[in-house]
């Protein structure tokens, strides 16, 4: 019989010095109970607090822990990509560092993977400890992108998921710079399964996603997976032209019937401002896409690595890779 495929737990951490010491013991207990070789890969996404020191301490007393440190904060999507790029064998399970995704569900995910699913993802039943605004905006976002995207993106699903080897290989081929991971996972396809779960509050520390970050994230998601807003600009233009035509006919009729006592300054002013607004909106929409196109063509690496420490259990028999690997 083939040896069981290994599993890597991937965790991106940015300023999580308080949460990591609470999370790791829970992970450890879960890994001890698994029927296969497993390791944890922590990616320090350029933290400014003691996250890296905390991670080094964790790695010191657990030989299954590998560490990757990026040269600065590149954002969660890039940090996850950096980690995924280091996983060359077996499957991966992605988890948040703050304990919101319970590690105790890992065996359930693994069981579904063994049944033949390639992408087992957690779907949030509710979000404890998050304000009404975040809940409402997340709810709205998943519905909007669900309408607009040609790739069906599962609702209320975060990055908490297990990906099989072939899903990972598929994902590795998507090197776009605008990385909306939830969409990329969905694009890969294969056999997907949603596992409903209760999302817990953060164990410690605070959320890294404030209003503006979430807003920009939503724009990135929509523009990466849909060109519908560009079409909206076309329809907006058509609708305005039609309205202008109707208004023109109305004005001519009015003038013929009742003459024209040279009025119409307010109408003119309103029309100019209205048309200017419509044009600026359309330009803005084009600009959103153009800006992203600009970022894509520059072909910068997605991240830079400052330090790579494979798990002690592995490095005994494998050669250390150079520390400045990129892309």
**Contact positions vs ligand UDP (CB under 6 A):** 12-14, 16, 45, 73, 75-76, 79, 96-98, 100, 207-209
Q: Shortest approach of Mg ion to residue 200 CB, angstroms? A: 9
Q: By rule CB under 5 A, what string of x and - marks binding of each residue 57-96 to Mg ion?
A: ---------------------------------------x
Task: Give the separation between CA 230 and CA 223, rounded to whole angstroms.
Answer: 9
Q: Shortest approach of Mg ion to residue 251 CB, angstroms? A: 57
Query: Which one of the spans 56-64, 79-87, 98-106, 317-325 is the region binding Mg ion (CB under 5 A)?
Result: 98-106
Contact partner at residue 14 from Mg ion, ligand UDP, none, CB < 5 to 8 Å by partner kind? ligand UDP
Nearer Cβ to ligand UDP (19/163): 19
Contact partner at residue 164 from ligand UDP, Mg ion, none, CB < 5 to 8 Å by partner kind? none
CA 266 to chain centre: 47
Between the CA of residue 169 and those of 3, 88, 163, 188, 195, what are the distances in Å?
20, 9, 10, 9, 23
Asked whether position 45 contacts Mg ion by CB under 5 A, the answer is no
Asked whether position 98 contacts Mg ion by CB under 5 A, the answer is yes
- CB-CB contact of 130 with 230 (8 Å): no
Pick from 87, 90, 48, 88: nearest CA to 69: 48
Task: Give the separation between CA 50 and CA 53, rounded to whole angstroms.
Answer: 5
Asked whether position 100 contacts Mg ion by CB under 5 A, the answer is yes
Which value, in Å, is the radius of gyration of the alpha carbons in the chain? 25
- CB-CB contact of 286 with 273 (8 Å): no
- CB-CB contact of 85 with 13 (8 Å): no
Q: Shortest approach of Mg ion to residue 202 CB, angstroms? A: 5
Q: Shortest approach of Mg ion to residue 207 CB, angstroms? A: 6
Contact partner at residue 39 from Mg ion, ligand UDP, none, CB < 5 to 8 Å by partner kind? none
Task: Give the separation between CA 245 and CA 49, rounded to whole angstroms.
Answer: 62
- CB-CB contact of 202 with 99 (8 Å): yes
DSSP state of 127: E
Nearer Cβ to ligand UDP (211/289): 211
The residue ranges that bind Mg ion (CB under 5 A) are 96, 98, 100
């Amino acid at each position: 019989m083939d040896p069981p495929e290994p599993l890597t737990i991937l965790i991106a951490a940015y300023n999580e010095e308080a949460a990591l010491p609470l999370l790791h013991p829970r992970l450890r207990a879960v890994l001890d109970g698994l029927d296969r070789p497993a390791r944890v890969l922590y990616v320090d996404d350029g933290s400014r607090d003691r996250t890296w020191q905390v991670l080094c301490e964790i790695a010191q007393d657990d030989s299954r822990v590998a560490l990757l440190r990026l040269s600065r904060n590149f954002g969660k999507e890039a940090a996850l990509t950096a980690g995924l790029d280091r996983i060359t064998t077996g499957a991966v399970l992605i988890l948040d560092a703050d304990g919101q995704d319970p590690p105790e569900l890992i065996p359930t995910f693994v069981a579904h993977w063994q049944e033949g699913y390639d992408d087992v993802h957690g779907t949030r039943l509710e979000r404890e400890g998050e304000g009404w605004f975040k809940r409402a905006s997340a709810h709205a976002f998943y519905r909007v992108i669900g309408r607009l995207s040609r790739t069906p993106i599962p609702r209320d699903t975060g990055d908490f998921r297990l990906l099989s080897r072939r899903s990972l290989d598929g994902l590795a081929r998507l090197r776009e710079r605008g990385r909306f991971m939830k969409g990329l996972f969905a694009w890969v396809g294969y056999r997907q399964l949603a596992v409903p779960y209760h999302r817990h509050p953060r164990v410690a520390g605070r959320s890294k996603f404030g209003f503006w970050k979430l807003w920009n994230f939503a724009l990135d998601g929509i523009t990466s997976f849909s060109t519908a807003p560009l079409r909206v600009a076309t329809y907006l233009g058509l609708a305005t032209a039609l309205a202008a035509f109707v208004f023109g006919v109305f004005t001519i009729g009015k003038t013929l019937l009742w003459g024209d006592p040279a009025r119409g300054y307010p109408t003119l002013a309103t029309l100019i401002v209205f048309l200017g607004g419509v044009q600026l909106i359309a330009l803005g929409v084009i600009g959103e896409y153009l800006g992203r196109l600009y970022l894509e063509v520059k072909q910068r690496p997605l991240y830079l690595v400052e330090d790579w420490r494979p798990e002690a259990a592995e490095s005994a028999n494998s050669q250390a890779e150079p520390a400045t690997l990129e892309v």
